[in-house]
Amino acid sequence: MATIHRVAVIGGGTMGAGIAEVLARARLDTVVCEVDATAAGRARERVTRSLERAVERGKTDRPTAEGALARIVFTADADALADRQLVVEAVVENAGVKTEVFAALDKVVEDPEAILATNTSSLPVMRLGMATRRADRVVGLHFFNPVPVMPLVEVVTSLHTSAGTAAAVEEFATAVLGKSVVRSPDRAGFVVNALLVPYLLAAVRMAESGFATAADIDAGMELGCAHPMGPLALADLIGLDTVVSIAESLYEEFKEPLHAPPPLLRRMVEAGLLGRKSGQGFHSYPRG
């Protein structure tokens, strides 16, 4: 396969914007495609704010940040994806929505050698690949939040993903993006979330039972186990709606009671208490 230099991200939310920033900082020709012009504008704002923070913290200089932003086209026009060599889907963690995206990508991306990747946290990669006529070119490329900071990417191969596709994506993630890679078969939760989410749910159950407060649970794991962040603060960072989605995928596949989302977690999501992105979860956060 030719060297990848024309890339795209579908979805400009927290994860999509972070992925786009990393791609652009790697000096790649990057397109961010959103549902409409308003959403595309919000995606630009997210990337701009993140780059500005990187400059303020001394992680990059202003010319580099401005160059990265200049390499990204923010659009609602799907035709802008036609010549892409790699497209990373980063829309909401919903199987139906993601399947529709892959069916559409199969029609609009012209290069039959192009790789279609999903940033899903837990959904079956094969199901998304089967929505296309090129399931051998579909792969999981799971980044972690915040994408510009976190060094890990999971490469997830389905029963249809070709060895060449997996090798190309792994080389791209390591040699071009500078990420470390762990490999996973196509099973719910992959490696990281299959280990992490039951731990987060256990913390929710502890808070739900009244056994300990959210603050004490997080302090216990931070100060007693040297974790950089407590489990409930981490769930807030991930997004409680995303935690529920991952837990549901794990439970659907394995039917283990420890994977079932606790009632408190479901109620919080129903109430719009989603964590950092809503300003309130197990802890409170400033908005904006």
Quick: pLDDT tens for 107-155. 999 999 999 999 999 899 999 999 999 999 999 999 999 999 999 999 9
pLDDT confidence bin for 2, thresholds 50/70/90 = confident
Cα–Cα nearest to 87, from 162, 137, 125: 137
The confidence score (pLDDT) of residue 114 equals 98
pTM of the model: 0.91
Please give the structure tokens belonging to residue 75.
């659009």
Q: Which residues of 124-147 are buried (b: 16+ CB within 10 A; e: fewer)?
A: bbbbbbbbbebbbbbbbbbbbbbb
From 34, 50, 119, 121, active-site residue: 121
Please give the structure tokens belonging to residue 10.
């579908």
Catalytic annotation present for 66: no
How far apart are alpha carbons 165 and 224 in whole angstroms? 43
Catalytic annotation present for 121: yes
Q: pLDDT of 78-116, one tens digit each?
A: 999 999 999 999 999 999 999 999 999 999 999 999 999
Catalytic annotation present for 154: yes
pLDDT confidence bin for 1, thresholds 50/70/90 = low
Residue type, 69: L
Cα–Cα nearest to 125, from 55, 187, 204: 187
CA distances from 214 to 33, 94, 243, 263, 283 (A): 38, 28, 17, 16, 8
**Whether residue 279 has pLDDT greater than 60:** yes
How far apart are alpha carbons 250 and 121 in whole angstroms? 11
Q: pLDDT of 189-243, one tens digit each?
A: 999 999 999 999 999 999 999 999 999 999 999 999 999 999 999 999 999 999 9
Could you tell me which CATH number the domain at 6-185 has?
3.40.50.720
The confidence score (pLDDT) of residue 35 equals 96
The confidence score (pLDDT) of residue 288 equals 57
| Domain segments of the chain as ranges | 6-185, 194-270
Q: pLDDT of 37-79, one tens digit each?
A: 999 999 999 999 999 999 999 999 999 999 999 999 999 999 9
Q: Kindly state the average pLDDT of the residues 16-31.
A: 98
From 154, 160, 249, 259, active-site residue: 154
CATH topology of domain 194-270: N-(1-d-carboxylethyl)-l-norvaline Dehydrogenase; domain 2 (1.10.1040)
From 50, 142, 170, 184, active-site residue: 142
